[in-house]
Amino acid sequence: MRSYRENGFGLWALILKESRRFVGQCGISIQDIDSKKVPEIGYQINKAFWNRGYVTEMAGKCLEYGFDKLELEEIFIHTYVKNIPSIRVAEKLNMTRRKEYDKQVTPDKFMRHVVFSTMGKERYSS
């Protein structure tokens, strides 16, 4: 709710049309990626619903919304380098792999993360 108050956007509930069951969330929020505040697509889905294309579909809708409605210039996804399913989502969305960096996840622990992004002009140019 804070993201909606501060930025005008945030996460959406992922609800299956057929059963009206809540299975996860996906949306755009402002995240700190390598010391820079940027709009990022984030998602979490119940493991029972993995590998069905739901996250890729929702993340694609987030890109459309971010570029068409919010008029963002660039949108990011970042994830742990060993999180292959999340990396595949970014790749399926034709996002560009920008870099890797060491993200501090606890005061004494860093984990390697990969950063993907796409720009509106990249997405809509032929």
- Read off the pLDDT band of 126 (50, 70, 90): very low
* pLDDT tens, residue by residue, 8-35: 899 999 999 999 999 999 999 999 998 9
User: What pTM was computed for the model?
Assistant: 0.89
Number of structural domains found in the chain: 1
pLDDT at 100 over 80: yes
- Read off the pLDDT band of 2 (50, 70, 90): confident
Determine contact, residues 113/81, Cβ cutoff 8 Å: yes
- 118: phi > 0 → left, psi -120 to 50 → alpha, else beta; which? beta
- Read off the pLDDT band of 123 (50, 70, 90): low
Q: Compute, in degrees rounded to 10, the torsion defined by CA atoms 63, 116, 53, 62.
A: -20
Which pLDDT score, from 0 to 100, does residue 124 have? Answer: 52
Distance, in Å, from the CA atom of 83 to the CA atom of 113, rounded to the nearest integer, reads 9
> What value does the mean pLDDT of the chain take?
92
How far is CA 81 from each of CA 52, 78, 121, rounded to the nearest angstrom?
A: 22, 9, 27
Question: By residue range, what is the domain housing residue 43?
Answer: 2-124
CATH number at residue 53: 3.40.630.30
Determine contact, residues 120/73, Cβ cutoff 8 Å: yes
Distance, in Å, from the CA atom of 37 to the CA atom of 35, rounded to the nearest integer, reads 7
